[in-house]
Structure 1
């Protein structure tokens, strides 16, 4: 029988260490944290991104997300624009400096993923892992489980 607590611990520790090693490289090479990089990627990938969209994607509170966006805005990487569909919210977009930073940092991020995620696995194992992790994520998301309160 599979030791589920050990699978859980291995999964959490792997994710934490991968996040840390990728973040160390991003900080050293681009003066960018992993969280900042994630937000820039999400904002760039959406036509109309709101703070709430970031919070949902990252599974963190809206308050924490808003503070992080404030820091991205202060750094000159993101701007808030009025939302024509809802005056109570803003749409986020990358500034030219934010887009330039994301373009420069993406190869560093992808190189780290190749080193620490793809290279230890066979192509088939990586494909199976991707499919399995996506299924597990969807299962929690479909049940609205694990979302932060507040």
Structure 2
């Protein structure tokens, strides 16, 4: 196996295990999954957030995001509003309950991730973060990893 293939395999396995552990704790403590948390976080952070904004950030299809947002709306965690400049689009906004879910979930995620990454020294974690940020920027500057 080539060196870069091994790095890729390790990266995928680490991501899967981190995601599953954080997802399980979040579901147990707050009744929402990590994917739902990510959507709430993006909606909170992006002004006049649209489904298209989330799809671009997560590199998933508009259809998948639209269905996920429908579930957030049904749960009472966000609402759609008419876009002020584009009648074909809507903006997404957290409801007060969505804001509460997001605020309560953030420390759970931070604590779980801190615990799961405790095997790394702070310097190792900083170097890993830097390398991943560089790779992510390179991939996002092109069409790599975008949904088909």
- TM-score, length basis structure 1: 0.95
Identify the residue that residue 116 of structure 2 maps to in structure 1.
116
Superposed displacement of residue 35, structure 1: 0.5
Superposed displacement of residue 143, structure 1: 1.4
Identify the residue that residue 140 of structure 1 maps to in structure 2.
139
Aligned counterparts of 2:67 and 2:121: Cα–Cα separation in 1? 40
Aligned counterparts of 2:130 and 2:53: Cα–Cα separation in 1? 24
Matched, 1:16 2:19: no
Greater Cα shift, 126-135 or 71-80: 126-135
Identify the residue that residue 30 of structure 1 maps to in structure 2.
30
Report how many residues are paired. 147
Deviations 1:91-125 (A, max 9, x none): 101000000011111111110111113x2211111
Which runs of structure 2 are paired with 1:1-150 in the superposition (5 Å)?
A: 3-117=3-117, 119-149=118-148
- TM-score, length basis structure 2: 0.96
Deviations 1:55-96 (A, max 9, x none): 111111000000000000000000001110111111101000
Deviations 1:3-28 (A, max 9, x none): 22111110000001100000000000
